[in-house]
Structure 1
Amino acid sequence: MRIGRWEPAEGSVEEGFVVEDRVVPFPDGRTVADVLAAGLTAAGELHGRALRQGPDSGRPLAEVRLLAPLVPAAIRDFVAFEEHVEGVSAGVEGKSDVAPEWYQAPTFYFTNPHTILGPGEPVSPPVTERLDFELELAVVIGAAPGVGQANLTAAEAAETIFGYTIMNDWSARDLQGREMKVRLGPAKGKDFGMSLGPWIVTADELAPYLDGGGFLAVRAEAYINDVLIGEDLVSNMGWPLPELVAYASRNSRVVPGDVLGSGTVGNGGCLGELWGRNGSLTPPPLAEGDVVRLVVEGIGELSGAVGPAIPGPALPAARVRPRARHRA
């Protein structure tokens, strides 16, 4: 099943199934959030009801504008590809290095669920000299036994994976680099935009791509202005996706509507990796008008153009204080 959200030329936002070349709203006015909260089995029953409406139900896909397939409850983005870490570290630190701590447990950061972009929606970056994209596969959490509970096992976590979508974690690398020298972040180098889409493909559809170790062996490709920049298999990540979900639940919770990014794939899944390997800004940073197109086998493609940068208001530097312990 493919599940999405869209906007007709006239009318309000609709949510439902993408069936071949048509979009069919959920029966009874349900939303993607409702379907995630009910789980995969209930979604299958709802899909059957939608199909029984006939082949001419809904609207042609070509006549609507796809939106981000969900409004995330929360977004965690991992860094689970060793090759990506090797390349980016070479650019930041001057040498390729993967810290021993990377191998000990999967690392992630929380990002902004309020600046989500849909397919074809341009990104408006801050003023930056190193705008980048990141090609990722994202997991969407749905209802299942154990969801919402802490400390899931990998097997329990696998049951909570409702489906998958494509993620582009837009990044201003110069802002990100400054922030992370303070040993916190990333923040403003990332939170201005993240693209998701084109729809959610349910987990059963991609089950044939799971290899013997539980890794999802789908091909991922990144293009800038239709030039292939990078390609990788998602199965090259350090942990299978259920283990990322299980780690996210450690002493915490994952709930329906949460999105978890795999982290940037290797072999050119972002420009930052290539800059580190090439020792220069080659290929050049993204510029206004560039179009990034991400393709993931079994899901589809997600495109987005770079819009004009939007400068923020001036912010003064920190005021150095005397560290007085008592009022004067």
Structure 2
Amino acid sequence: MRWVTYRSTDGTERAGLVIDGRIHGLAPGTSVIDLLGDDGQRMAEAASRATDDPGEVIDLAGANLSAPVQPPQLRDFLTFLDHLRNVQAAAQIALDPAWEEIPAFYFANVAAVIGPYDDVPISPGSEWFDYELEVAAIIGKEGSDLHPEEADDHIVGFTIFNDWSARDLQRYEMKLSLGPSKGKDSANTLGPMLVTKDELEPYRSENSYHLEMKGFVNDELMSHGWMDQMDWSWGEIVSYASRGTRVLPGDAICSGTVPTGCLFEHFAAKGPDDFGGWLKPGDVVRLEVQELGATRQEVLPAPPVHRLRTGF
């Protein structure tokens, strides 16, 4: 199944099932998260309603899509260690063994979640604005202290995630060994749709799914990789996320950046003199993941900065 959240012509936000390029909308008042929380019965029943008696049917092309879910919690992991190796090798820094011992993550800003085609202002005060090509697993049912083998069953499906980053702000504030904070606080893209795991079963590999991932800036290919380059499995990172706490229906558990999946890797490899430049107003970023669709977003100028007494 492929589910979207879209804004209808009457202004209401609806959940819809995508069938053959058309959205079969449910009645207003039911969100995609409302379909989660059990072993799949609610979603299956909703799919039957959407197929047999939809509230409306519209074309997917041109639909006003929101993020498929507004996650209660958003954890962004670093599961592609080659991404980090590429960055650190350019600075001749060896990878700390701790990265191979635990799947590190940070909590991202759920209030900054936006849709797959929404414009994205540059973070205030940033001159090093960047995209990140990632995938998010969406939690289908609550769990805590999950074993890795059972944790995978708590995933309902996947969507594209773009962790927009202000690299200059991030580098400065990380000196404090706290964060990231304002370096990754302005925008988090999810979309265009939630694709359930059964749709991806033909691509299942040992630790993930063999899905091609691409990132473009102004139609120039900048990023290319595969989802199953991950060093941690989805079951492992959901298990780790649930340790000592709960994962909730609709939570986004994100993969981190695929190797080559951001401008910062190009900057690290080429150095400031040969680097092609950071994102600027008017740039269009398009992320594509096989079977999951594509996001397309224009970069806008940054809002003004209201300075602190220190000048920051």
Normalising to structure 1: TM-score of the pair? 0.89
Q: Which has the larger radius of gyration?
A: 1
Q: For residue 271 of structure 2, what is the aligned residue in structure 1?
A: 279
Q: For residue 134 of structure 1, what is the aligned residue in structure 2?
A: 132
Q: For residue 183 of structure 2, what is the aligned residue in structure 1?
A: 189
* Deviation, structure 1 residue 63: 4.9
The code of the aligned residue for 2:137 comes to V
In 2, the alpha carbon distance for the partners of 1:170 and 1:124 equals: 10
The code of the aligned residue for 2:287 comes to L
SS in 1 for 2:36: helix
Distance 1:24 1:38, change over 3 A: farther
Q: For residue 72 of structure 1, what is the aligned residue in structure 2?
A: 71
* Deviation, structure 1 residue 140: 0.3
In 1, the alpha carbon distance for the partners of 2:32 and 2:115 equals: 15
Contact 1:27 1:46 in 2 (8 A): no
* Deviation, structure 1 residue 30: 2.1
The code of the aligned residue for 2:134 comes to E
Q: Which runs of 5+ in 1 are unaligned?
A: 319-328
* Deviation, structure 1 residue 15: 1.5
Of 96, 100, 112, the residue aligned with 1:99 is 96
* Deviation, structure 1 residue 33: 1.6
SS in 2 for 1:83: helix
In 1, the alpha carbon distance for the partners of 2:56 and 2:309 equals: 57
SS in 2 for 1:11: coil
The code of the aligned residue for 1:135 comes to L
Q: For residue 151 of structure 2, what is the aligned residue in structure 1?
A: 157
RMSD of the TM alignment (CA)? 1.8
Please give the per-residue CA displacement for 1:251-285, whole angstroms capped at 9, x wherever unaligned: 1111101101100000x200111111122362310
Please give the per-residue CA displacement for 1:169-228, whole angstroms capped at 9, x wherever unaligned: 0000000001111001101000100111001001111122111x2322111000001110
Of 287, 294, 317, the residue aligned with 2:287 is 294
In 1, the alpha carbon distance for the partners of 2:70 and 2:158 equals: 14
In 1, the alpha carbon distance for the partners of 2:224 and 2:68 equals: 24
Q: For residue 223 of structure 1, what is the aligned residue in structure 2?
A: 216
Q: For residue 105 of structure 2, what is the aligned residue in structure 1?
A: 108
Q: For residue 51 of structure 2, what is the aligned residue in structure 1?
A: 51
SS in 2 for 1:167: strand
SS in 1 for 2:83: helix
Q: For residue 61 of structure 2, what is the aligned residue in structure 1?
A: 62
Comparing 19-28 with 182-191, greater Cα deviation is found at: 19-28
Q: For residue 124 of structure 1, what is the aligned residue in structure 2?
A: 121
In 2, the alpha carbon distance for the partners of 1:113 and 1:313 equals: 23
Q: For residue 207 of structure 2, what is the aligned residue in structure 1?
A: 214
Of 269, 284, 292, the residue aligned with 2:261 is 269
Q: For residue 169 of structure 2, what is the aligned residue in structure 1?
A: 175
Contact 1:85 1:97 in 2 (8 A): no
The code of the aligned residue for 1:67 comes to S
Q: Post-superposition, which runs of at least 4 consecutive aligned residues in structure 1 deviate over 6 A?
A: none
The code of the aligned residue for 1:52 comes to D
Please give the per-residue CA displacement for 1:80-133, whole angstroms capped at 9, x wherever unaligned: 111110223356xx2243211100010000010001110210111222111110
Contact 2:14 2:27 in 1 (8 A): no
In 2, the alpha carbon distance for the partners of 1:254 and 1:230 equals: 31
Contact 2:143 2:154 in 1 (8 A): no
Normalising to structure 2: TM-score of the pair? 0.94
Q: For residue 245 of structure 2, what is the aligned residue in structure 1?
A: 252
* Deviation, structure 1 residue 32: 1.1
